[in-house]
Amino acid sequence: MKDKFISTLLETKEFKNSLYAILKHSFLYHSNKIEGSKFTTEELALLLDKDVVTGRHTLDDVQETVNSSYVFDTIIETLGEKINDSFLKKLHSSLMFNTTMHVRGYAGIYKTIPNMIIGTKAKVAQPFEVQSKLDELLEWYYNLDNITLENISEFHYRFELIHPFQDGNGRIGRFLMLKQMLENNLPMKIISWDTEDLYRSSLNICSEGNYKPLENYIDGLEDFRVEYKFLWEF
């Protein structure tokens, strides 16, 4: 039986000020702001609702914000479909379309140059390790019997430690977390930009086999389902 939250989400996709619109705005505002977007919540609402850009923004900020809107739609449209290489590359290609990364040829492909997670000392995978580590992660995830918040925390940490793309890994990782929470009828937690330092520090103190810091951080966030239950519990 389909979860009522998911059913309402799908049914309200074309309506303004609906469950779909509010989740989309909230998720994109926080996830993009963590990565340096300068869009205010009001400016983002104008862009999403009326295709109007206000304020002063770089071209990449505008393009990536527009692109992230399409990636959000893709996540919802593909609920129930497995994450694989082609899915990951499609998300990244969409997110980076017409940006500097796209022009440089880095959109929709795994990284070719070593990178890192800004704000942490974590040692991420080298380019030649990406494919095997992603294969291992996805095999582990899809062999789980009952996916929990603990499992999703582990997946997110391990994905970020692989850091498979040249840029955009944080946003892709959070999009995957959104997909996983929705697919498994779990509390809907949105990583908020105003707790960015705590988010990064929890990633920083996790280690292989110890994902509790990130799980505790995510568990402590507000549950979007509860906060907006009046939009779907009727």
* Residues with active-site annotation: 163
For residue 99, what is the DSSP state? S
Residue 45 CA to residue 33 CA, distance in Å, equals 14
Residue 36 CA to residue 130 CA, distance in Å, equals 26
Q: For residue 35, what are its two tokens? A: 């990565």
> Which amino acid is it at 163?
H
> Which amino acid is it at 28?
L
Q: Is 171 annotated as a binding residue?
A: yes
Q: Is 14 exposed, middle or buried (0-12, 13-18, 19+ CB in 10 A)?
A: exposed
Residues near 182 by beta carbon (within 8 Å), at least 6 away in sequence = 5, 6, 9, 76, 79, 188
Q: Is 173 annotated as a binding residue?
A: yes
Specify whether the CB–CB gap between 4 and 231 falls below 8 A. Answer: no
Q: Is 168 annotated as a binding residue?
A: yes
Q: For residue 76, what are its two tokens? A: 């919802």
For 89-151, strand residue ranges (E) read none
Residues near 136 by beta carbon (within 8 Å), at least 6 away in sequence = none
**What DSSP assignment string belongs to 23-74?**
HHHHHHHHHHHHTT----HHHHHHHHHH----S---HHHHHHHHHHHHHHHH
Q: Is 223 annotated as a binding residue?
A: no
| Residues annotated within a binding site for ATP | 167-174
| Residues annotated within a binding site | 167-174
